[in-house]
Homo-oligomer: A and B are copies of this chain.
């Protein structure tokens, strides 16, 4: 009962896997459901992937690679003045948000992560990739331009930005209809540019913090 060889079977399996994993998660998705969806037998799976996890990883990697490619749009922003820079930044935010929204099934998979890794839950490789990308970008910007406050710690800044993206991804994965990306983006930028407190409060807190820091 064998069918003619299907040169696109690997692609069909990946597409089927994306759907099954996105709906049921790695643990609940069954190989047989994936292969049925692709129109082949259970055994065929192992002609194209070493294991269930290997397929999971393949899908995750595709997604993360694409995301980092989109995020490179921030790199062309280095030389603009604030008046042009801000709309350009918001535009990049939009592009990234769109990518995440478009690839929601894969995003859901990636957020689940792999059970074998140390801290699987967070989609370890995903978060790790984002965080190092962030840190590298911040460090580079600290060297080329004088925009960052000298005592902004790149590690902590990368942690904060990555955390924001991760939480944002979480919201995307959970919501049924498209959130207002632009609004969130502006609200987030405001905090990054000026903190979350009233100017005089923020200044007082900052002074007290610096006093405390010198004192310890």
Mark interface residues in A171-207 (1 if CB within 8 Å of B CB, else 0). 1011000000011101111111111111101111111
Residues of chain B within 8 A (CB-CB) of A26 are 115
Assuming A159-B168, A160-B188, A163-B165, what are 11 further A-B pairs, CB within 8 angstroms?
A27-B115, A83-B211, A113-B121, A146-B198, A147-B197, A147-B198, A147-B201, A153-B183, A159-B171, A160-B163, A186-B209
Contact of A166 among B82, B157, B167 (CB under 8 A): B167
Residues of chain B within 8 A (CB-CB) of A202 are 149, 193-194
Closest to A112 in B: B121
Most-contacted residue by chain B among A118, A195, A201, A203 (CB, 10 A): A195
7 contacts between A and B (CB under 8 A): A83-B211, A110-B121, A152-B196, A153-B183, A159-B184, A166-B167, A192-B195
Number of copies: 2
Given A82-B208, A122-B166, A164-B163, decide whether A194 and B191 contact each other with a Cβ distance below 8 A. Answer: no
Least distance between A162 CB and chain B CB atoms (Å): 6
Question: Which of A41-49, A85-93, A95-103 sits within the interface?
Answer: A85-93
Contact of A170 among B122, B167, B211 (CB under 8 A): B122
Given A121-B113, A127-B170, A149-B197, decide whether A191 and B86 contact each other with a Cβ distance below 8 A. Answer: no
Residues of chain B within 8 A (CB-CB) of A122 are 111, 121-123, 166, 170
Distance of A116 Cα from B28 Cα, bound (Å): 7
Given A25-B115, A90-B212, decide whether A196 and B120 contact each other with a Cβ distance below 8 A. Answer: no
Chain A residues engaging chain B, CB cutoff 8 angstroms: 25-28, 82-83, 85-87, 90, 108, 110-113, 115-116, 118-123, 127, 131, 146-153, 155-157, 159-160, 162-168, 170-171, 173-174, 182-184, 186-199, 201-209, 211-213, 216
Contact of A121 among B120, B146, B160 (CB under 8 A): B120
Contact between A85 and B208, CB atoms less than 8 A apart: yes
Contact of A27 among B27, B148, B207 (CB under 8 A): B27
